[in-house]
Amino acid sequence: MAKRNPTPKSVYRRQLASRLKELRDEQELTLTHVAEVVEVNQSSLSRIENGDRGTTPLLVKALLDCYRVTDPAEREDILDLVRADQAQRQQWWKKYSAVINTTQYGGYLALESSATSLRSYEPQLMPGLLQTADYARRVIAEMRVDLTAKQVDALVAVRMERQAKVLDREGAPKLWAVIDEAAIRRLESNRPVMKGQLAHLLDVSPRPGLTIQLLPFSAGFHPGLYGSFVLMGFPEGNSDVVWVENGPNSVYFEGSEDVERYAESFDHLRARALGPPETRSQISKILKEL
């Protein structure tokens, strides 16, 4: 199901919600009964079980007592999910909230921050995680003519910090990027920016967990002609999500049929794209031409 203007649930909140509902069902208790016992509004409890709101260790301890969970290790595992969700809500990008709210970027960052794998297809641009600052500034300024120079600089800063937070963190996600040749050719008119960007791709391509493939014009028509998308994988027990760029109204899908459809499209794209060694050779060739 598509979600517009999303505020996605954190991975830990999803796990917590599922576990609490499971425990309540095991005890065959109704939401009404539990709400009365722990003295919490029933609608609030329902939202916690659906993952629509966070909670506190104090309330969860009361729920675990109600559900007769006495094993210390099990209780601590569940409380760790509460603490992890609270930590994830301390979003590093909040200092850029004014410009991020304007671009509806926060939802994407919330999902990406806990992803374990990212499969990205870009038909027109370099993936944000692989952009140089000069390239990002040029792209943002040209695409978002409604933004001031200060707002453009802020979004460039977000993009650079995002790269560090995602790619350099402990347990960084595996990134598999398929980039259309159109993205490589698009900025030939601004050779210094494009040369710097292509050189950056060559510099980062050997890093562990990163796969870059170029989809050449010779691939012809293909499933990626609908536009860019990112498939995000998460820790075990959490379903994949696909994020689809659609101008100011980007959406994400979490239904299995939607995710499988995009996963199949990505498999077709990577099968038609040049392999990583051939991609590096082709990028080097284009770089020399510039």
Indicate the domain borders of the chain. Answer: 2-88, 97-289
Q: What is the pLDDT of residue 249?
A: 66
Query: CA-CA distances (angstroms) from residue 144 to 97, 122, 140, 190, 279?
Result: 17, 18, 6, 18, 30
**214, β-bridge pairs:** 179
Q: What is the pLDDT of residue 5?
A: 39
Q: What is the pLDDT of residue 162?
A: 93
Phi-psi region of 209 (alpha: psi -120 to 50; beta: other; left: phi over 0): left
72-88 vs 11-26: helix crossing angle, rounded to 10: 140
Assigned CATH class of 97-289: alpha beta
Question: Which of 230, 222, 227 lies closest to 272, judged by CA?
Answer: 222
- DSSP classification of residue 275: P
Q: What is the pLDDT of residue 180?
A: 95
CATH of domain 2-88: 1.10.260.40
Residue 135, SS3 per DSSP: helix
Q: What is the pLDDT of residue 63?
A: 94
Question: Which of 58, 40, 88, 45 lies closest to 234, judged by CA?
Answer: 88
Q: What is the pLDDT of residue 9?
A: 63
Q: List all residues 6 or more positions away from 39 whose beta carbon is below 8 Å from its beta carbon.
A: none
Q: Digits of tens for pLDDT over the chain (290 positions)?
A: 444 434 456 677 888 888 899 999 999 999 999 999 999 899 999 989 888 888 899 999 999 999 999 999 999 989 988 887 776 666 777 777 777 766 667 778 878 888 899 999 999 999 999 999 999 999 999 988 988 999 999 999 999 999 999 999 888 999 999 999 999 887 766 788 999 999 999 999 999 999 999 999 999 899 888 889 999 998 877 788 899 877 666 778 888 899 999 999 999 999 999 999 999 999 999 988 87
Q: What is the pLDDT of residue 175?
A: 97
